[in-house]
A and B are shown apart, each in its own frame.
Chain A
Amino acid sequence: MFEYTVRRLLIAVPTLVIISLVIFLVLSLAPNDPMAQVPLTVPPEVKEKMREALGLGQPLYVQFWKWLVQFFWIEPQVLIDYFFGTNYSEDKLRVISWQTRAPVMDTVMQRLPQTLWVVGMSYVVAIAISIPIGIYSAYKQYSIFDQTGTFITMVGYSIPPFFTGPLVIVIFAVYLEWFPSTYDTLHEVNNWESFIIQLKQMFLPVMVLAIQGTAQISRYMRSAILDNLNQDYVRTARAKGLSESIVILVHVLRNSMIPVITVIALNLPLIFGGAIITEQVFKVNGIGQQLILAIYANDLPTIQTLTFIFAFLIVFFNLVADVLYALLDPRIRYE
């Protein structure tokens, strides 16, 4: 098991380096000029010097190498300094945003908590709702509950968040006025009332993201349970005289969770992707919104760094999925 994890980690390193190279090359192909917004009165020689100051005069491989060093060597040092008060990273050049002239990672760290709260909470909600729904629709296959559930999940699956977002805003914020339409980042939770306000402002973005997650996971859960209900060991468990609740919730569920856990872990980074749009709709200033703003401003270091963070999340949760899979299923533990 340990060897398996270590081997997977070792494979992840070259994967990530290749991903970052691809992102870098694709971005450098894009026609853009960080000086495009500079007023026309600035002479071209000065613009050229400004470009060189940003490091753009260097060949591509030097730029890539510098980004690699900054991201994988200097930024971790900043993190260590932050936690332990050391000063390894002093005077070293970090990944700087062209837009804000501040280190990209500082902005990311400021914005990450909002994203984690909204995205994380929506996923927790989605899992909590979808698993019982999946189990029950499978157990009562083709019942009215199952049919209705299938219909609703189809709808939830097929309508994208950029549509459901404005829709719930119109219904719940404009007509019913139950919840605010935007997310106030500056809001501080320090007593019961402010906590209620926090819950209220989280409700709509969490709901929009959770609809899709619920639809997906409950479908997977349903089919996993159905696969297992026909297995011989279920008949054996019933022949032992176990009650239906033990048969389903212990014997069948544990086996059915094996594929579902994988799906949950693999879909987590996709939710971050979906959050880019949802954050935009509800004005949550998370990292998704940061990415959109950076794209508008041609801020290549920020785009590069954020895209890579998303890629990293995908690789990381793939690894998590594999390890969880091995933990849940004793059959593949020793391979």
Chain B
Amino acid sequence: MKSKTKKNVPVLDVKKLKVNFQTKTGKVTGVNDLSFSIFPGETVCLVGESGSGKSVSSLAIMRLVEFGGGKIDAGTIMFASNSYVQSDLINSDQNKMREIRGNQIGMVFQEPMTALNPVFTIKRQLTEGLRVHKQMSKNKADLEALNLLKSVRIPEPERRLLQYPHELSGGMRQRIVIAMALACKPKILIADEPTTALDVTIQAEILTLLNRLKKETGTSILFITHDMAVVAQIADRVVVMYHGEKVEEGNVNEIFNNPKKDYTKKLISSVPKLGAMLGKKYPEPLKLDSKNNVKSIKIVGTTKPLLEVKNLVTRFPVTGGMFRKKIANLHAVEDVSFTINRGQTFSLVGESGCGKTTIARSVLRLEESESGEVCMEGVDILKQNKKDLLRQRLNMQMVFQDPYGSLNPVMKLFDQVAEPLINYKIVIGHNLNKKISELFDKVRLPRSFLNRYPHELSGGQRQRVAIARALALNPKLLILDEAVSALDVSVQASVINLLLDLQEELGLSYLFVSHDMAVVERVSHYVGVMYLGRMVEIGDRQTIFSNPTHPYTRALMKAVPIADPKKRFNRDDINFKPISSPIRDLGFVPEPSSYNMIKKGHYVLKNNIGYN
């Protein structure tokens, strides 16, 4: 390999990079004094939380930052092209950059759902770069596109070429974006949070794919992520960033085993680790750092049932044809039963499309279920009329995933939290002020925030407002639908701790819906694993995590990245089955769920649902 002899010459050498953004209120520094280098065949991870400048740095290398209003004010970015002649990308004009972009440096973006142009076929988007940079003829480029799809292991590559992006799943789209970035065999692949928007099993597949492609082609990878567990899986070297500046740089083993800076330590410790709760019967808050005086509490709860869901079935009609008749059913939830005890947490875990959110919404009757029972303290929610249902909803409130979308941008926070109380006419007049202030105290928000608007708050603060709003009516049950998934790790950790504190303090029950196994392990008393609308395994948390029995549960556990560079994915382990369609003909009668009892309280689905 030619790279062997030149191993000591970095392909990319960034020195003292400074990027500013011109905004209405003045200059904002995106990246300041950043230096790092990437050697041939190496994977360097830029890691940091949102706003740390990691994406800005990658866009600066591509010189795409200028299209977003940024300006590179200082520094050099030396890039060694194929002939090992170093040139400074900062002084290159946009014509020169066009020859480098997509040709010598490829880029993969975070959001596969929007990174592809919706109105062109996959083939057209894949061949564009080849025809521009390699001057390939149309036929030759088409052939090469097919080879590229094969190299990223897409099933049925010939068919995919003729499809449009919306016809493909997120994981497949991300593979296509990777194929596109690799089309011209670039020297460097920049991957900006490429797995953040994906399910864990698909994330594991994409990470192994990137590792394999790196070995096969010798491409260097600049990998940008906020997730320390992913870093451990893929990095050779790590650059930790905070507020636009480099905090620490080092070999992946050094960073994990011997972090020098406090910020790095905090970043590592706030990652919920799978297996961290081993041997502990009850959930307890995360210890964020040694100085913090976190009370060592154990949330025991009670064993008295609060909510009992029995044989719940929720289906959505699929319409089609001339008169939009119902032509099929989407079986979102199929014969699911579980119980939530007072003061305890039941978690629903599974990948996107498995029906976990539909269950959460069905319990509140935000979706109408086809059959089954949802008994809250013995009252069947599904049988209530409108008025009684309204009264029942006093007992259960919901917190949603996206703290940006779930608060009204034009209402003051005080009014938003007060809304449920006014709605039910529970507290009026002067007492309202007192009540809302207390709620803000409860979720550890300063009272000075009462008259602010949502856009003045960070994501974590907004989620606290959403929790305060849910708590306003003193509910017995909180439904947390991916409530911590959209938050940065350190913020996530503190919101989890808040939720656990509140549970201990108020004796709340939680229905915790999440795709994140490590978070679920931290907060749950009982866990149900969902797949294709069915509950495939249910039991207490310790049992599920120490003795996963259903093959799907095992696959899910295996896919969770471990924040330890010594425990990387074994390539042979990664062989997940694509989820089949939950859409069935009208006449289809699903068999009832039947379970094997492994031990008392631990059940595993017997039905064959295509994952055995």
Q: Which residues of A contact B180 (CB under 8 A)?
A: 236, 240
Residues in B neighbouring A235, C-beta threshold 8 A = 64, 67, 109, 115
Chain A stretch 299-335: residues in CB contact (< 8 A) with chain B:
328-331
> Cβ of B99: which chain A residues have Cβ within 8 Å of it?
241
Residues of A close to B114: CB separation below 8 A: 231-233
By the criterion CB–CB under 8 Å, are A233 and B322 in contact?
no
A329 CA to B117 CA, complexed, in Å: 11
Cβ-defined contact, A238 with B115, below 8 A: no
**Distance in angstroms between the alpha carbons of A94 and B38 in the assembled complex:** 84
Q: In the assembled complex, how far is the CB of residue B420 from the closest CB belonging to chain A, in whole angstroms?
A: 35
CB distance from B456 to the nearest CB of A (A): 23
Establish whether residues B117 and A233, one from each chain, have CB atoms under 8 Å apart when the complex forms: yes
Given contacts A236-B116, A244-B94, 17 further A-B contacts (CB under 8 A): A7-B324, A232-B109, A232-B114, A233-B118, A236-B177, A237-B117, A238-B101, A239-B101, A239-B109, A240-B129, A240-B132, A241-B103, A241-B129, A241-B132, A243-B132, A331-B118, A331-B166
A77 within 8 A of B: no
Q: Is the CB of B100 within 8 A of A251?
A: no
Contacts of A255 in B (CB 8 A): 117-119
Q: Does A242 contact B (CB under 8 A)?
A: yes
Residue A3 interfacial (CB < 8 Å): yes
Give 1 or 0 for each of B96-127: 1 = CB within 8 Å of chain A CB: 01111111001101010011111110000000
Taking Cβ atoms with an 8 Å cutoff, the residues of A that contact B are 3, 6-7, 231-233, 235-244, 246, 251, 254-255, 258, 328-331
Residues of B within 8 A of A241 (CB): 97-103, 129, 132-133
Q: Report A-chain residues with C-beta under 8 Å of the C-beta of B103.
A: 241
- Identify whether the interface residues of B are mostly helix, strand, loop, or mixed: mixed
Question: Can you give 5 A-B contacts (C-beta < 8 A)?
Answer: A235-B64, A239-B106, A240-B129, A240-B180, A330-B118
- With A and B bound together, what is the CA distance between A47 and B362 in angstroms? 72
Question: Is A236's CB under 8 angstroms from B109's CB?
Answer: yes
Instruction: Give chain A nearest CB distance to B502 CB in angstroms.
Output: 37
Give the distance in Å from the alpha carbon of A254 to the alpha carbon of B120 in the complex. Answer: 9
8 Å CB interface, B165-185 against A? 166, 177, 180-181
**Residues in A neighbouring B322, C-beta threshold 8 A:** 3, 6-7
Does B488 count as interface, using CB distance less than 8 angstroms?
Answer: no
Contacts of A233 in B (CB 8 A): 114-118
The docked-state distance in angstroms from the alpha carbon of A243 to that of B129 is 11
Nearest CB in chain B to that of A251: its residue: B117
Q: B588: CB under 8 A from chain A?
A: no
A330 lies within 8 A of B166 (CB):
yes
Scan residues 447-476 of chain B and give those whose CB is less than 8 A from a CB of chain A: none
CA distance A243 to B94 in the complex (A): 9
The answer for the CA separation of A240 and B97 in the assembled complex, in Å, is: 10
Contacting residues, chain B, for A243 (C-beta < 8 A): 98, 132
Q: How far is the CA of A251 from the CA of B180 in the complex (A)?
A: 16
Residues of A contacting B94 in the complex (Cβ-Cβ under 8 angstroms): 244
Of chain B, the residue at the smallest CB distance from A228 is B117
The reply to whether A7 and B323 contact each other, CB–CB distance below 8 Å, is yes
A3 with B321, Cβ < 8 A, contacts A241-B102, A254-B119 known? yes
Closest residue on chain B to residue A252 by CB atoms: B117
B164 at the interface (CB under 8 A from A): yes
Contact of A232 among B115, B323, B324 (CB under 8 A): B115
Please provide the chain B residues from 282 to 305 with a CB less than 8 Å away from any CB of chain A in the complex.
none
B562 interface residue (CB < 8 Å to A): no
CA A236 to CA B183, docked complex, whole Å: 13
Which residue among A232, A241, A254 has the maximum number of chain B CB atoms within 10 Å of its CB?
A241
Give CA–CA (A188, B115) in the complex, Å.
56
Complex CA–CA separation, A327 to B179 (angstroms): 28
Which residues of chain A come closer than 8 Å to B115, judged between CB atoms?
Answer: 232-233, 235-236
In the complex, what's the smallest C-beta–C-beta distance from B311 to chain A, in angstroms? Answer: 33
- The CA-CA distance from A255 to B177 in the complex, in Å, is 19
Contacts of A246 in B (CB 8 A): 128
Chain B 61-83 near chain A by CB (<8 Å), digits 1 or 0: 01010010000000000000000
